[in-house]
Structure 1
Amino acid sequence: MTQLSFLDLVPVVEGGTVSDALARAADLAAHAEATGFTRYWVAEHHGMTGIASAATSVVIAHVAAATKSIRVGAGGIMLPNHSPLVIAEQFGTLDALYPGRVDLGLGRAPGSDQRVARAIRRSLDSDPNAFPQDVLELQSYFANDGQTGIVATPGAGADVKLWILGSSLYGAQVAAALGLPYAFASHFAPDALDQALAVYRRDFRPSAHLAKPYAMAGFNIFAADTEEEAQLIATSQQQSFVRLRTGNPGQLPPPVAGYRGSLGPQGAAMLDNVLSCSAIGTPATVARGLAAFVERTGVDEVMVTSAIYDQTARKRSLTLTAEAAREVRLAA
């Protein structure tokens, strides 16, 4: 049965604060747990005034403390920004605090622009093709197999589940070669979704971690009791995407009635492409969208995401999404 999980970018809303965003994340994670979601992930982004999850491992600890059983983790950590040893120590610490619940999704994008990436890394001279080797080094620390000559403390022996993330064929190839589960970022970069999943499944090599391919894909859902309300709450994320693509990112704006209709043909076409993996509407509409997405992709898990300005509406969307998933026999 296809599993249902949630990715939270921990948005800072206009008129709100980082403290508010973090409190909302903990509240939403507890709600996701109560409604039956499998895992709750946050993602590493830097230099963005509208996203509060830059210190990703700290935010994961905050979310884990507000929940009891749901898996928590990173979707993801941008490994080129970090030493694999430091990530092993951070996530080894999380596993020690919340054993058996920690996921670590790994990506190779900077999670920022080049200026911010330089501030994080101090130098951009590192080889981007070193990502697979960095993943292997990280696995070595968790396995405590002696290959690095260093014992990660915490980290050695930690039960952290690794994932490879991607929005192109590269991540699919890495995940397949290493025998790891794969998550595709179709919630904002859908173009290569079908090809990437096909490559991952075709080239997958069984490993000690995974016997057969396990794929997840991102899907935007904005659910409400009426179609009109769902269309309205979806406009906050739509505005954010347009602002980001036009070089004017910021905090999550309140919804605007008729926003999509106010865009010209170029803006509307951009939204149609970027957000093509989405369902907006009542539970019946969402159920049809979810069923079609799972039938198209054959994924083992759907990673739902939605940036909604009002916290009550956001929690209601998760509740209705879980109901829609049960209608189409997805696990939630």
Structure 2
Amino acid sequence: MTPISILDLVRVTEATDAAGALYNARDVAQHAESWGYNRIWVAEHHNLAGIASAATSVVIGHIAAGTKKIRVGAGGIMLPNHAPYIIAEQFGTLERLFPGRIDLGLGRAPGTDQMTLRALRRDPGSSDHFPQDVMELQAFLAPAQPDQRIVAIPAAGTEVPLWILGSSNFGAMLAAELGLPYAFASHFAPDYLLPALELYRSRFKPSEQLDKPHAMVGVNIIAADTDAEAKRLATTQQMSFTNIFRGARGLSKPPIDDIETYWSPQEKVQAMGMLARSIYGSPDTVRAGMDALVKETQADELIVVSDVFDHQARIHSIDLIAQAAGLSRE
């Protein structure tokens, strides 16, 4: 059985403020833990009114404190925004508090606009140093050497497992070169999925962390009792993607009956291009979609985005996905 995980967007909606979004994320994690999901990740985004996970390490601590065994991590930390030393301190602290449960996924996109990037005190060109930053971070998480003058305390020796995130071939090549697990963002960048996975597997070099490739595939899945209801719930996500192209990102909107009244033909093409690998439907439809995706990609793991406006409907979606995947429940 392919392990299934969750990427939580920590959505602020027109009905829920930031505090509500954060407590909803922990509630999702608690349910996911009891339903057999492997891990739950949150991502770093800045200056976006509809996402409450900007202080990613703090959110991870909040979720981990409300759960017992599910892995909790970053999907991901946008490393060009930070000094590797600071991220080592933060995630080493999390690992000390929640041993054996913390993941650190790393991306090289800023996760924000250029003006906000400058407010983070980072150089817009800092992404050019991403491979070196990853290795520096890895070194700070390793056991300290006798002559090491700068030690990340209490991170040294925690060896928090690193992941490389990607939506193109760059991340695939880096993950392969460093011998790290690779997570591909096909939930919003489906075009490069298969070439990136092939590149990662063909060039993989074993490392101390990982002896063979491990590829996790991101996928949007919204499940409901019927295909029609799932497709209706999916209009929330479709409107969010449409608003990206309008430059009008805001709070998550409630679903609507007819998405055709919301987007233009051009916006539909753009949004559906990004959502091309999404699975919306009843448990039977979801099961067939997941089986086909795993067969096509040979994914070692799926990480699911279930972007539903109403919290209880989202919990129901995650429950049905777990049932469709045959996850083992407590």
Q: Distance in 2 between matches of 1:74 and 1:284?
A: 30
In 2 relative to 1, CA 251–194 (structure 1 residues): closer, same or farther, beyond 3 Å? same
SS at match of 1:174: helix
* Aligned twin of 1:249: 249
Offset of residue 121 of structure 1:
2.6
Q: Which residue of 1 aligns with 2:271?
A: 271
Aligned to 1:307: 307
> 1:80 is matched with which residue?
80
SS at match of 1:187: coil
Q: What SS does structure 2 have at the residue aligned with 1:250?
A: coil
**1:178 and 2:169 are equivalent in the alignment:** no
- 2:90 aligns to what? 90
> Equivalent residue for 2:128?
129
Offset at residue 109 of structure 1 (A): 0.3
**Which AA in structure 2 matches 1:26?**
R
Give unpaired runs (5+ residues) of structure 2. none
Q: Which runs of 5+ in 1 are unaligned?
A: none
1:248-270 superposed Cα distances (whole Å, 9 cap, x missing partner): 00010111111146533222222
2:305 and 2:325 map into 1 onto residues whose CA distance is: 14
Corresponding residue number in structure 2 for 1:156: 156
8 Å CA contact retained: 1:99, 1:159? no
What is the CA RMSD across the aligned residues, in angstroms?
Answer: 1.4
Q: How has the CA–CA distance of structure 1 residues 125 and 201 changed in structure 2, closer, same or farther, with 3 Å as cutoff?
A: closer
SS of alignment partner, residue 121 of structure 1:
coil
Q: Match for 2:83: what amino acid?
A: S
The answer for the alignment partner of 1:140 in structure 2 is 139
Question: What TM-score results when the alignment is normalised by the length of structure 2?
Answer: 0.96
2:25 alignment counterpart: 25
In 1: Cα distance, 2:186 partner to 2:153 partner: 35
Task: Check whether the contact 2:3–2:300 (CA below 8 A) recurs between aligned residues.
Answer: yes
Which residue does 2:285 correspond to in 1?
Answer: 285
Question: Which residues in structure 2 correspond to 1:59-78 (within 5 Å)?
Answer: 59-78=59-78
Give the distance between the partners of 2:179 and 2:158, measured in 1 at CA: 19
The superposition leaves residues 199-246 of structure 1 with CA deviations (integer Å, 9 ceiling, x where unpaired) of 000100001110000000100001001122111111111111100122
1:264 partner amino acid: S
Tell me the alpha carbon deviations over residues 115-138 of structure 1, each in whole angstroms, 9 at most, x when there is no partner.
111111343353x33111111111
**Matches of 1:22 and 1:73 in 2, distance apart?**
15
In 2, Cα distance between the equivalents of 1:262 and 1:153? Answer: 51
Alignment of 1:306-325 (within 5 A): 306-325=306-325
Mapped contact 1:224–1:320 kept (Cα < 8 A): yes
Matches within 5 A, 1:204-283: 204-260=204-260, 262-283=262-283
**Which amino acid in the other structure matches residue 269 of structure 2?**
A
Same amino acid, percent of matched pairs: 55
User: Which amino acid is the alignment partner of residue 318 of structure 2?
Assistant: L
Classify 1:206/1:284 alpha carbon distance in 2 versus 1 (closer, same or farther; 3 Å).
same
CA contact (8 A) 2:143 2:158 kept: no
Whether the aligned pair in 1 keeps the contact of 2:105 and 2:163 (CA below 8 Å) is yes
CA contact (8 A) 1:169 1:195 kept: yes
Instruction: Compute the displacement of 1:298 (Å).
Output: 0.6
Match of 2:43 in 1: 43
Give structure 1 regions of 4+ aligned residues with deviation exceeding 2 angstroms: 121-126, 144-149, 260-265
Query: How many positions carry a matched residue from both structures?
Result: 328
Counterpart residue identity of residue 213, structure 1: P
- Equivalent-residue separation in structure 2 for 1:103 and 1:331 (angstroms): 22
